[in-house]
Structures are given as structure tokens and as C-alpha cells.
């Protein structure tokens, strides 16, 4: 059985993982894109989005690690899209177009049932209404010996940490102060959960911090 990992999760210096007022125009919330400047210029990101070029540096190495080795993904509903409440129709199929970057079974936490969506490139979105443990059970079954990635957003990562279900963490801490948004660490005691820092590397655009139990 593989590990459960949070990887490539961007944070501000003051601990926010997204800005306020997430919307179709601002999927990461106001100023949320500032947290991901370390990622956008990498070869990994540009390849994922069908663009040529990109840097091949420390940031790119962490970006590649954040997408490699996973047999399944788990996302909160906000990570799938801006639609709230019951699904009005089947038109919304995610932020990423016809070929999402996951290329593996991807389990979306929601209160409202919806049929699976098969996308190009091997991604199938499955909508789980029974909670985080059920989603993880299904993701583990789909992943086999490979790892499961808790992709976010903040609330989803917090829930899995609070339930003591995460094995490894990688945060990319950007040199940005948001002041408000979705706070990751409030009320969490990572040492009490068994985490210790195993790696930290600074670049001009982020400080990469890895933790494990």
C-alpha cells in the first residue's frame, strides 16, 4: 500500500493556502495566484498545460515530485470548480479543460451525488458523498501500490490531517503575505501528529519544506 501525501501545496508566509472570494475569474481566490509563482514557470507546469519550455531547476524538481508516483487523487469540491449546492446540470467538468493534469482516478468530496466523468488522458472524476474516509478507501483501492495525493484545497487537507490520515507533507512557502484567506495551520499541532521537518530548500520564489512521520 502506498502513502497518503500532500505535495506541492503552496502557502503564504502567514499560512494561507488560498485567497478570499474564490470565483470563476479567481479560482485561487483574490491574490491566490501569487502563491504559485514558483510553479508557473517550471517545465513541469508548462508541460502539464501544453506549453513548451520552462525552467529546470529546484522549483521544477519539487513540482515534478508533487505530481509523480500517484495512483489516485482526492480533491475538495472547491478544487473541482466554483459551483455550489446541488449540481444544476452536467456542464461543469472542472477547471482544466478536456485533459486534466491528474491522469488517474480522482475523487471529489461533495454532499451532492453525480455520475463519474471520464476525461481525456486517463482522468476519471468520481464524486464521493460519504466523507473523507470513504474517499480515501476508494482512492487506495484505485491506487494499488502507488501513493494517494490529497490535492486540496485547504479545508480538505485540514480534514485529513485532523483525522491523522496523512503520511507526508510538502509545502511551497511563497514570499507573499496575504493577510487573510484560507488558513491551513490554525488549531493544528503537527508535532503532536508525529510530523518533523525532513527537508528544506529555499529558492528565489519559494521555500520548500518537507515533513514526514
Please, what are the averages of pLDDT over each run of 10 residues along the chain (213 residues)?
96 93 80 94 92 95 96 95 89 90 96 96 97 98 98 95 98 96 94 97 98 97
Per the CB < 8 A criterion, the answer to whether 174 and 15 are in contact is: no
Query: Residue 210's pLDDT is what?
Result: 98
CA-to-CA distance for 60 and 208, rounded, in angstroms? 11
For residue 65, the model assigns a pLDDT of 95
Give the model's pLDDT for residue 53. 95
Q: How far is it, in rounded angstroms, from Cα 6 to Cα 156?
A: 10
Q: What is the pLDDT of residues 190-203, one digit of tens each?
A: 999 999 999 999 99
CA 66, 153, 150, 103 torsion: positive or negative? negative
The Cβ of residue 107 has, within 10 Å, a number of other Cβ atoms equal to 25
Sheet architecture: strand order including 207-212: 117-118, 124-128, 105-109, 70-75, 147-152, 4-11, 168-173, 207-212, 196-202
Residues 93, 66 contacting (CB under 8 angstroms): no
Predicted TM-score (pTM) of this structure: 0.95
What local confidence, expressed as pLDDT, does residue 19 receive?
A: 85
Angstrom distance (rounded) from CA 33 to CA 163: 29
**What span, in angstroms and rounded, lies between the C-alpha atoms of 204 and 50?**
25
Q: Which CATH architecture has domain 4-17+27-82+98-212?
A: 3-Layer(aba) Sandwich (3.40)
CA 7 vs. chain centroid, Å, equals 7
Half-sphere exposure of 46 (CA within 13 A, CB side): 13
**Domain extent listing, the chain:** 4-17+27-82+98-212
Alpha helices in the chain (DSSP H): 37-40, 43-48, 58-65, 77-80, 132-143, 154-162
Give pLDDT, residue 27: 80
Rounded alpha-carbon distances, angstroms, from residue 184 to 75, 88, 99, 191 = 15, 30, 29, 15
Amino acid at each position: 500500500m502506498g502513502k497518503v501525501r500532500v505535495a506541492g501545496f503552496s502557502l503564504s508566509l502567514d499560512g494561507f493556502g488560498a485567497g478570499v472570494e474564490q470565483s470563476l475569474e479567481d479560482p485561487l481566490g483574490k491574490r491566490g495566484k501569487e502563491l504559485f509563482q514558483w510553479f508557473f514557470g517550471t517545465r513541469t507546469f508548462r508541460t502539464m498545460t501544453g506549453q513548451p519550455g520552462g525552467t529546470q531547476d529546484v522549483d521544477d524538481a519539487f513540482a515534478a515530485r508533487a505530481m509523480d508516483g500517484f495512483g489516485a487523487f482526492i480533491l475538495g469540491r472547491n478544487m473541482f470548480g466554483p459551483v455550489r449546492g446541488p449540481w444544476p446540470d452536467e456542464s461543469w467538468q472542472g477547471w482544466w479543460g478536456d485533459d486534466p493534469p491528474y491522469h488517474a482516478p480522482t475523487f471529489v468530496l461533495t454532499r451532492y451525488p453525480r455520475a463519474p466523468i471520464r476525461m481525456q488522458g486517463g482522468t476519471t472524476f468520481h464524486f464521493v458523498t460519504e466523507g473523507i474516509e470513504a474517499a480515501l478507501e476508494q482512492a487506495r483501492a484505485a491506487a494499488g501500490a502507488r501513493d494517494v495525493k490529497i490535492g486540496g484545497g485547504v479545508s480538505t487537507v485540514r480534514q485529513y490531517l485532523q483525522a491523522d490520515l496523512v503520511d507526508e507533507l510538502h509545502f511551497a512557502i511563497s514570499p507573499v503575505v496575504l493577510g487573510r484567506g484560507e488558513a491551513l495551520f490554525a488549531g493544528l499541532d503537527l508535532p503532536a501528529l508525529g510530523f518533523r521537518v525532513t527537508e528544506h530548500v529555499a529558492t528565489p520564489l519559494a521555500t520548500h519544506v518537507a515533513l514526514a512521520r
